[in-house]
Amino acid sequence: MGGGQGQGREPGLGPGLGRRFGWLWAAYGTSALGTWLAFGALPLIAIQVLDAGPARVAALSSVGAAVGAVVAVPLGPWVEFRRKRPVLIGLDLARCAALLTIPVAYALGVLTFVQLLLVSIVVAAADIGFRAASGAYLKTLLPAGDLLVANARFESTAWTTTIVGPPLGGAAIGLLGPVATVVADAVSYLLSALGIRAIGNGDGGEDGSGGKNGSGEARPVRRADDARMRAGDLLDGWRYILADPTLRPLFLHTAVFNGLVMATEPLLAVLMLGRLGFTPWQYGLAFAVPAIGGLVGARLARPLAARFGQHRVLVGSGALRALWPLGLAFLGPGTGGLLLVMGVELGLIFCCAVFNPLSATCRLERTPADRVARTLTAWSVTTKATIALLTAVWGVLGTLLGPRTALGLAGLLVLATPLLLPRRAAALPVEPDTEPSAEPDTEPGAEPGAEPGAEPGAAHDPAPSRT
């Protein structure tokens, strides 16, 4: 099932990429905005409503993400052999339903910390499953030559919502409380599901016997002797990544870089808001303004790749982004310190915004269509687990050595991460030919004629970050 088979160009929400991509793009933007509106809402509810202490608040973020990643491991093989649009809709609705339990429980006076933890686990697992399914779906929706354009648009949208969402969410929390932003986040997932459903019968498609439905997505193929998922299937994504000469080093670089950069964020908050005496609005400004670099970087990713070559720009931006984090170790008080953070973050975010869509496109181009969901699941699970592990390690180092020393140590290690980048571009693997599956056209719960069953960049990352 190669990228973009049978896809026509239709006018609509995505200029040049067709109406169906336009709906997918709009769905992504809607839910990403909802996520940033509610950024930090669950910890704030835990503090304000449940009087949770620092240990519980930390557990809500770290344990929820880590357990969610473990729960998501079986989703890759499960998603792989199902049509992706109903899977995407189902995961959106699952996140909507999980989040809506919070305002309901709050209104009834029965909200507990355990419920918040369970919701964070469900949302984290669904996020990973959605990213895997949306990446696989994007590959069927567009030709390979358009993947970089699409991923750059997702990246640009991610940074736009990063700039707009937190200030609006902060204002909403101030007026209505954090529970209101959770409702807004839940509604955004509902709107995203409706947008993906609107992709629907865009091309008239073929009937069930023709191998494609109205959204142009071919039925996933599964061998007759492979009808039941085995324990070994859970590792298929990792096996494929580690066997590919380009994906393997890119995978290791991404996991280590993301883990080290994200592990320093709590330490930077402690240093800025504690010892250096920055106010919360200054801290927020230090990260909001540099997000403009994300917009510029995402816009330049495709022109740079066209001029200098996709692999060269991927490696170059990956190396350049490693130069910035060490600067945070020299952070001082006052206006100079604030400008230093903003400068470091601007350079880091700009390089990441160039790198992310190129990396996402490389993953999709190098992964056969019948392995995309498993590969992206393995990638997301590893990245999230690495971030959780290194965040815990750097929390200990920050306590023992002090936040500034721990920041410097992380910056030095980040300088070595370009050594993990792929040295040369290997030939793209040949896509296997697919044949219509013997499986029935629909599954229980799927609508008739519909499919039974993305840094920022690959697809729908509900919480885009500078990494």
Grouping H, G, I as helix, E, B as strand and the rest as coil, residue 218 is: strand
Q: What is the maximum alpha-carbon separation in the chain?
A: 68
Which helix (H) or strand (E) segment holds residue 147: the answer is helix 147-176
User: In Å, what is the CA distance from 11 to each residue of 20, 22, 202, 381?
Assistant: 9, 9, 11, 36
In whole angstroms, give the CA distance from residue 88 to residue 79: 10
Output the tens digit of pLDDT for each of the chain's 467 residues: 334 443 444 444 445 778 889 899 999 999 999 988 888 788 888 888 888 776 677 777 777 778 888 888 888 888 888 888 999 999 999 999 999 999 999 999 999 999 999 999 999 889 988 988 888 888 888 888 888 888 889 988 888 888 888 888 878 888 888 899 999 999 999 999 999 999 875 443 433 333 344 445 666 655 544 556 666 667 888 999 999 999 999 999 999 999 999 888 888 888 887 888 888 778 878 888 898 999 999 999 999 999 999 999 999 999 999 999 999 999 999 999 999 999 999 999 999 999 999 999 999 999 988 888 889 999 989 998 898 888 888 888 888 898 899 999 999 999 999 999 998 877 667 655 544 333 344 333 333 333 333 333 333 343 344 44
pLDDT at 265: 85
What pLDDT is attached to residue 231?
61
**Triad 434, 239, 376: Cα angle to 5°:** 70
Residues counted in the chain: 467
pLDDT at 1: 36
d(CA 6, CA 142): 9
Record the pTM.
Answer: 0.76
Asked if 181 and 43 count as a contact pair (C-beta separation under 8 A), the reply is no
CA distances from 66 to 61, 310, 380, 384, 424 (A): 9, 33, 11, 7, 33
**11 within 8 A of 443, measured Cβ to Cβ:** no
261 close to 413: Cβ distance less than 8 angstroms? no
Q: How far apart are CA 31 and CA 184, in angstroms?
A: 10
DSSP state of 290: G
CA distance 361 to 151: 7
Rounded Cα distance, 436 and 209, in Å:
8
Q: What's the pLDDT at 461? A: 41
The dihedral over CA atoms of 158, 382, 181, 138, expressed in degrees to the nearest 10, equals: 40
Residue 220 pLDDT? 63
Helices (H), 49-146: 54-72, 75-80, 84-108, 113-141
Handedness of CA 243, 246, 247, 250 (dihedral sign): positive
Amino acid identity of residue 160, one-letter, is T
* Three-class secondary structure of residue 212 per DSSP: strand
What lies within 8 Å, CB to CB, of 135 at 6+ separation is 360, 363, 364, 372, 373, 376, 454, 458, 459
Nearest Cα to Cα of residue 177 among 44, 321, 70, 346: 44
Nearest to 169 by CA among 340, 343, 66, 41: 41
